[in-house]
Amino acid sequence: MANKILKKSDSFYAVYDRKPGEDKMNTHYCPGCGHGNIHKYVAEAIDELGIQDRTIIVSPVGCSVFIYYYFDLGNIQVAHGRAPAVATALKRAHPHAIVISYQGDGDLAAIGGNNIIQAANRGEQITVVFVNNAIYGMTGGQVAPTTLVGMKSSTTPRGRAIENEGYPMKVSELIAALTAPVYVERTALWDTSSRNKAKRSIKKALKAQMEGKGFTFCEIMSPCPSGWKLTPAQSLEWMKENMGAYYKVGVLRDEIKTREPIIKEKKTVTSKEIQEVLGTDIKPSEHYPTNPEDRYKNPSMKFAGFGGQGVLSLGTMLANAAMEQGFNSSWIPSYGPEMRGGTAYCFVNISDKEIGSPTVSNPDLLVAFNRPSLEKFEGDVKPGGIIMYDSTIIDVQPTRDDVEILAVPATGIAESLGNIRCANTVMAGVYLAKTKIMAKEALIQTLPKAIKKKHLIDLNIHALEKGFEFIENN
């Protein structure tokens, strides 16, 4: 008997518990806003197709950002304009899921213009619900790519002018110019018959997605009474007369019947395959237990210098070796504007506990390879921590007196070995010898991961040993 009663769809929450504030029963939309209608049509189509338990709706930035307050579906709220990219990922990872990219015209046609074109061109098996209200609603009525010529907005107070803002963008026509999309239709919400078409269009697109037919695109012209500064009733008339004259309703592509379905299976990737791709599939031959003093355990580190001094690979060496020895480790780089010459630094954490954040504001260890890095970061080191600096290159001394300071002529030592580029490995040796957090051998067995050129491996083993000797002799 359910069809004898028209009421809120099951795909909506009965009570909008996720919505902050007192009012858990109403949407946040302005009176007469078309988002609400379109939500209802999407929800009803999902109910009727029986896909609530496998539908994921990706919400945009715009007035519909809070879709997850209302829909009892899977949801990811994404960065402005990026819904098609996230929808792509969701669909590829979960081919059985029904994925909806719900977007406004600012989101889809302005900042996300390339995202939607590429997703459409790839023929991603997603359904895009494109709410065209010819304006940026959420931010207070600025011009959108879809704003009509002459239409006033807060950023086109004299009306959109072709010579300034160009012609209103016919997005469905753009999408339909591509070969891949299987279904493209523009509908509207200005009267009963147009609303019925909008409703049917959404259901048709979702059904085509269920059948594995390909990329489906539903543009719906929708009122924004607040942005248009009209009453809800006036909005419908204005929309029909003006938007309807420029944006033609109708089907721009429908090859649903003739396209062969492509039913994709969920791809699983083994961790071995991932390791092969990342080049981390070298198994350690041995585990080397060590017993550092407590103050050296679980260090957070920062390595800094000029790009090209091997700062980043020093970090990777230690993080890799630590991982192989059964620690948790993280490595995250940060580059200056240029890869070579600019300052480069990276953060490394090594821990026998889980690592919460890979970034390090106050390191236990700072390794500085140039003067600017030393001067910039020495103040950040935790009291009781260690500062190691390349005394061949840096002609000043750290000023801190509450940390251990090691002046290591790393570049000088490396030069004596015939290649200054192994100064980073000298530092690694010094650090390991000093703290004993890992054995020399632990690093040696993972060197091939950090150093791709085989003939340099011996040199680096040598450099590592020189680092150990430095501590032994000092």
Partner 1 sequence: MAVLEEAKIVVEHDQCKGCTLCIIACPKDVIIQLSSFNTKGYHPVEYKGEGCTGCGICFYACPEPGAIIVYKKGAVVE
Ligand X SMILES: Cc1ncc(C[n+]2csc(CCOP(=O)(O)OP(=O)(O)O)c2C)c(N)n1
Per the CB < 8 A criterion, the answer to whether 207 and 112 are in contact is: no
Strands 386-390 and 404-408: parallel
Q: If binding means CB under 8 A, how many residues of this protein chain bind partner 1?
A: 36
Per the CB < 8 A criterion, the answer to whether 393 and 424 are in contact is: no
**Residue nearer to ligand SF4 on the CB measure, 188 or 426:** 188
Q: Pick the stretch among 56-64, 181-189, 287-295, 311-319 that binds ligand X (CB under 6 A).
A: 56-64
**Minimum CB separation from ligand SF4 for residue 205, in Å?**
22
Q: Output the CA angle 435-343-450, nearest 5 degrees.
A: 55
**Minimum CB separation from partner 1 for residue 77, in Å?**
19
Among 82, 99, 107, 129, binds ligand X (CB under 6 A): 107
Among 74, 106, 214, 467, binds ligand X (CB under 6 A): 106
Residue 81: CB partners within 8 Å, gap ≥ 6? 60, 61, 103, 107, 108, 110, 111, 112, 113, 115
Among 90, 116, 128, 138, binds ligand X (CB under 6 A): 138
Written as six digits, the tokens of 245 are: 């004259």
For binding to ligand SF4 (CB under 6 A), which residues are involved?
Answer: 29-30, 33, 35, 63, 133, 137-138, 224-227
3-state secondary structure of 303: strand
**Minimum CB separation from partner 1 for residue 30, in Å?**
8
Partner that binds at residue 157, options ligand SF4, ligand X, partner 1, none, CB closer than 5 to 8 Å by kind: none
**Residue nearer to ligand SF4 on the CB measure, 232 or 308:** 232
Window 235-254: contact mask with partner 1 (x via CB under 8 A): -x------------------
**Minimum CB separation from partner 1 for residue 10, in Å?**
11
Count CB-CB contacts under 10 A for residue 156: 18
Cα(427)–Cα(369) distance, integer angstroms: 10
**Residue nearer to ligand SF4 on the CB measure, 37 or 446:** 37
230 alpha-carbon distance from chain centroid: 38
3-state secondary structure of 402: coil
**Residue nearer to ligand X on the CB measure, 82 or 213:** 82
Secondary structure of 44-56 as H, E, C letters: HHHHHHCCHHHEE
**Residue nearer to ligand X on the CB measure, 11 or 147:** 147
Partner that binds at residue 152, options partner 1, ligand SF4, ligand X, none, CB closer than 5 to 8 Å by kind: none
Q: How far apart are the first and last CA of the chain?
A: 88
For residue 349, give the nearest of 328, 333, 335, 334 by alpha carbon: 328
**Residue nearer to ligand X on the CB measure, 144 or 366:** 144
**Residue nearer to partner 1 on the CB measure, 12 or 331:** 12
Window 142-181: contact mask with ligand X (x via CB under 6 A): --x-------------------------------------
3-state secondary structure of 407: strand
Window 60-99: contact mask with partner 1 (x via CB under 8 A): ----------x-----------------------------
Per the CB < 8 A criterion, the answer to whether 468 and 429 are in contact is: yes
H-run or E-run covering 114: helix 113-122
**Minimum CB separation from partner 1 for residue 57, in Å?**
14
The reply to whether 80 sits near ligand X by the rule CB under 6 A is yes
The reply to whether 128 sits near ligand X by the rule CB under 6 A is no
The reply to whether 113 sits near partner 1 by the rule CB under 8 A is no
Of residues 256-315, those binding partner 1 (CB under 8 A)? none
3-state secondary structure of 429: helix
Phi-psi label, residue 310: left if phi above 0, alpha if psi -120 to 50, beta otherwise: left
**Residue nearer to partner 1 on the CB measure, 5 or 245:** 5
The reply to whether 31 sits near partner 1 by the rule CB under 8 A is yes
The reply to whether 5 sits near partner 1 by the rule CB under 8 A is yes
The reply to whether 186 sits near partner 1 by the rule CB under 8 A is no
Per the CB < 8 A criterion, the answer to whether 236 and 228 are in contact is: no
Residue 399: CB partners within 8 Å, gap ≥ 6? 378
130 secondary structure, DSSP code: E
Beta-bridge partners for 131: 104, 220
Among 1, 245, 263, 269, binds partner 1 (CB under 8 A): 1
The reply to whether 62 sits near ligand X by the rule CB under 6 A is yes
268 secondary structure, DSSP code: -
Among 77, 121, 139, 242, binds ligand X (CB under 6 A): 139
- Burial code of 47-63, b = ≥16 C-beta within 10 A, e = fewer? eeeebbeebbbbbbbbb
**Residue nearer to partner 1 on the CB measure, 9 or 146:** 9
Cα(175)–Cα(118) distance, integer angstroms: 10
Residue 252: CB partners within 8 Å, gap ≥ 6? 172, 173, 175, 176, 184, 185, 186
**Minimum CB separation from partner 1 for residue 99, in Å?**
22
**Residue nearer to ligand X on the CB measure, 136 or 238:** 136
Count CB-CB contacts under 10 A for residue 222: 27
The footprint of ligand X (CB under 6 A) covers 61-64, 80, 104-107, 111, 131, 133, 135-139, 144, 224
